[in-house]
Structure 1
């Protein structure tokens, strides 16, 4: 496996036409946050990038319905997103927005480069037009029946029921979302990206991880459903895809290109370029060079997304990057599947969702409880289910009875017997119940067992198994509880006080290590635990590399 000098981790840009729900958290944002915090704790050079996706027809539709400007709509949700992410502890290095001037500039530069290289096909096509509204209809202005699954409310670019990417003309019985009328087909001219031209290298890249003999990723490390969806797309044959739209909201096609008047960039060209423009801005603010993060073979580019965005991040965006010629292709795209709610699909239109900002208002101070439940039920390989009953059970039976109980018992006994000071002990001190001479160094043996479990936790996180990593964390806490129960220091203190020093020292070392390895999952609890141990909050600067010195005696 290749060692990378740096990591660029992106999380899917949330679309600024509605608030975040728990499906979003479980899909892209907690998985990416856990992974990035883990990388930082390992001392890796990492940039964690995201931002609000603020263009596209769905935003103009919402603006029309609410009698507001598109800018008013995106301003509202951009601020809500930033606040929500901050409160739930998603630790982006930079959170940007696609209405920012620097993003428009970067997107236009990208488009101009592809245009000048001759990568686009300019052709006339028929596009749906609403005669009553007197405008061409972008994908999201059209609804109809999905030809794949027969869902009767599919959009012109995608069916949200089955996840299929569509073109407007594939819809059965299409109607305009502006007027409800049946649209007519009218000729217009646009620039298309010839995906069929890139089919050969895309197939090689996805199936083998190589392009032209150069190893760029390891397919065995990709999730099966991601590879499966990619292979299905390619096997069905790729078609040219329009990169521009007739819209009045979005990034302008550069004015110096003939025929650009009234044309905007397709949102799935504009939006992923947002990762690049955000990285540029982050680098500028931190006096760094952005190019190594996007244009170096020593960088691992990793996109965290939901499964509805697989085709865009695994086929369309890589094709755009390769066509440009100067950019790194993704090393992995660990897309999660969907989270359902109480036996039904989450639906924003039916208001069937747990809105994250509302949870944070109603359950102030319980951020980690939600993070724990989301990670425990993360839809990593298949759709998962959130219920309030499972949330309550996880909180009471695991966080409280296991983790919090262990922390409390150790802190109480340390305060009771040693006035809150970590006791020094005789390293050769025998432990009651340990008769084998090999077990005389009980403290060291248990520390080694602890580190073995930390290694298991880290191995899970390296392979994007965040549920497994969380389970390993709770196993460490369970083992601490078992050590407590086996040694019963509240009894042993009366007959062998020296051995209790060994146990209490050991259990405090457990707490110190837990305060570090829990950080990716439960950052707020990590801060609280380190406060109890009189330790500074973690800076996430390689602390996993120095676990042996997590807590000093005295």
Structure 2
């Protein structure tokens, strides 16, 4: 099947929860690969927009607020600033990094829901849910804890057991209790609005399983496992206080489900950007409604179902929006052979790294890309960090650049000399460089960033080999004109390496 030619690309990176900082797992899984891809498109002078922002609704925010005795907005304000500042200092080149508590987002998300409601695309259902009589509120999944029915971990949540990894529903827990009051919850009836995923199942099968076989195996495989089962209607509203109020009469005390609200943040943040800089980015709708725009979501594997099944169904039901063309989701990064855990504080936090290793942003980018969990979970160790810095960045990359610049300083006072007649060794090095550039582009086009970086490092190896073979320090005594050409080519290789 011939690949479609697009006029522009909208790139989104998963919105981190504003209830804590960003760690190396987030960077390796989402933000570094997304940034590499966007920088690549910009180098090719392609029309691209890079959208990020904080996810400021949902239960994790309110849990932290209750724990600290502050408001959810206080939590969001604190961590939004930490995350935004960390990304900026680290060099993640978002065109905008906004938030889902903005007025622009509130209105767009409300209007989106209202259109689905008015068009009859949502169904109203009454269900039974756990209710905390002491706290006087219905309990979201994360406000319920009990014994896992599979591994009998006594601290499983209402949506997942973090010990065995099983997906759960609150009703499956043994001896459940409220994490708010500690009391045993009772069952009460409540009304919510659902997106009937089952009505879109045949369309999803056709769109993903037939239309996107080029997606990464982990993404395609997870989608297939969901689509091989009978999809069920998914609630798009919740009985919570913190969030965007459901814009429907009789929906008091209900807010939009965070996974309905959050991905719309990509759209609202684009709208906010275009309204701020219309001369540069134009109308926001061209980035989200024009079929000539390619939409690419960078996410972690735990968000595949939301970005490949739920959000596309929302977009399809709405009718005005384009659908994602690719969703390059990564697996997880472990730390020192142990799963990264925010609850255990087992992580390398970006804001702390930037303080402890000033000026070492590129070292971390390099190591995380070298260990990118593109096809399977991978591991970060400080020993590997040290070895890659010393034996690759310093001994190969740094060595070549230093040799080229020092020789130029020694023989030509730091001035770039002119290129003379090329010899076979020169042409070979130039051709090898061109071959590597072509390979890098092939890998970047299909989101294989680890392989692309390996090829980039090969540029430095070619440069070192070229200088060693040409021996300008010997040739200088008999043929300084020849040395001009060797140094000229070496400096051109350095310039190309800087871009790579």
TM-score, length basis structure 1: 0.87
| Distance 1:232-1:17 versus aligned 2 partners, 3 A rule | same
Match of 1:464 among 439, 447, 466: 447
Aligned-partner Cα distance in 2 for 1:152–1:390: 36
Q: Does 1:486 align with 2:477?
A: no
Aligned-partner Cα distance in 1 for 2:147–2:251: 32
Match of 1:66 in 2: 68
Give the 5 Å matches for 1:27-426.
Answer: 27-146=29-148, 152-160=154-162, 166-209=168-211, 218-220=212-214, 222-254=215-247, 257-287=248-278, 288-426=282-420
| Distance 1:51-1:300 versus aligned 2 partners, 3 A rule | same
Note the residue ranges of structure 2 that are not aligned, 5 or more in a row: none
Q: Does 1:503 align with 2:486?
A: yes
Match of 1:6 in 2: 8
Q: Are the aligned partners of 1:246 and 1:264 in contact in 2 as well (CA < 8 Å)?
A: yes
Q: Are the aligned partners of 1:163 and 1:308 in contact in 2 as well (CA < 8 Å)?
A: no
| Deviations 1:55-91 (CA, angstroms, capped at 9, x unpaired) | 0111111111101010100000000011000011000
Q: Are the aligned partners of 1:160 and 1:308 in contact in 2 as well (CA < 8 Å)?
A: no
| Distance 1:266-1:173 versus aligned 2 partners, 3 A rule | same
How many residues of Structure 1 are paired with residues of Structure 2 in the alignment? 495
Secondary structure at the counterpart of residue 372 of structure 1: helix
Shift of 1:177: 1.4
Moved more, 182-191 or 391-400: 182-191
Q: Are the aligned partners of 1:245 and 1:265 in contact in 2 as well (CA < 8 Å)?
A: yes
Aligned-partner Cα distance in 2 for 1:450–1:267: 48
CA-atom RMSD in angstroms: 1.5
Shift of 1:147: 5.5
Secondary structure at the counterpart of residue 423 of structure 1: coil
| Deviations 1:155-197 (CA, angstroms, capped at 9, x unpaired) | 3334556666544334444322112333221101110111111
Match of 1:532 in 2: none
Secondary structure at the counterpart of residue 123 of structure 1: strand
TM-score, length basis structure 2: 0.96
| Distance 1:455-1:404 versus aligned 2 partners, 3 A rule | same
Shift of 1:137: 0.5
Aligned-partner Cα distance in 2 for 1:451–1:137: 59
Aligned-partner Cα distance in 2 for 1:295–1:265: 23
Shift of 1:151: 5.5
Match of 1:527 in 2: none
Aligned-partner Cα distance in 1 for 2:335–2:12: 26
| Distance 1:316-1:159 versus aligned 2 partners, 3 A rule | farther
Shift of 1:491: 1.5
Q: Are the aligned partners of 1:375 and 1:467 in contact in 2 as well (CA < 8 Å)?
A: yes
| Distance 1:267-1:159 versus aligned 2 partners, 3 A rule | farther
Aligned-partner Cα distance in 2 for 1:161–1:296: 44
Match of 1:455 in 2: 438
Aligned-partner Cα distance in 2 for 1:461–1:180: 51
Moved more, 71-80 or 281-290: 281-290
Aligned-partner Cα distance in 1 for 2:108–2:27: 28
Secondary structure at the counterpart of residue 350 of structure 1: coil
Q: Are the aligned partners of 1:457 and 1:469 in contact in 2 as well (CA < 8 Å)?
A: yes
Aligned-partner Cα distance in 2 for 1:173–1:134: 20
Q: Are the aligned partners of 2:35 and 2:93 in contact in 1 as well (CA < 8 Å)?
A: yes
Match of 1:530 in 2: none
Shift of 1:386: 0.3
| Distance 1:277-1:230 versus aligned 2 partners, 3 A rule | same
Shift of 1:444: 3.8
Shift of 1:443: 3.1
Shift of 1:4: 0.8
Shift of 1:149: 6.5
Moved more, 294-303 or 169-178: 169-178
Aligned-partner Cα distance in 2 for 1:161–1:99: 32
Shift of 1:235: 1.1
Match of 1:25 among 11, 27, 35: 27
Match of 1:213 in 2: none
Aligned-partner Cα distance in 2 for 1:306–1:24: 8
Aligned-partner Cα distance in 2 for 1:171–1:240: 22
| Distance 1:161-1:111 versus aligned 2 partners, 3 A rule | farther
Shift of 1:358: 0.4
Secondary structure at the counterpart of residue 189 of structure 2: strand
| Deviations 1:239-284 (CA, angstroms, capped at 9, x unpaired) | 1111111111100111xx2212111000000000000100101111
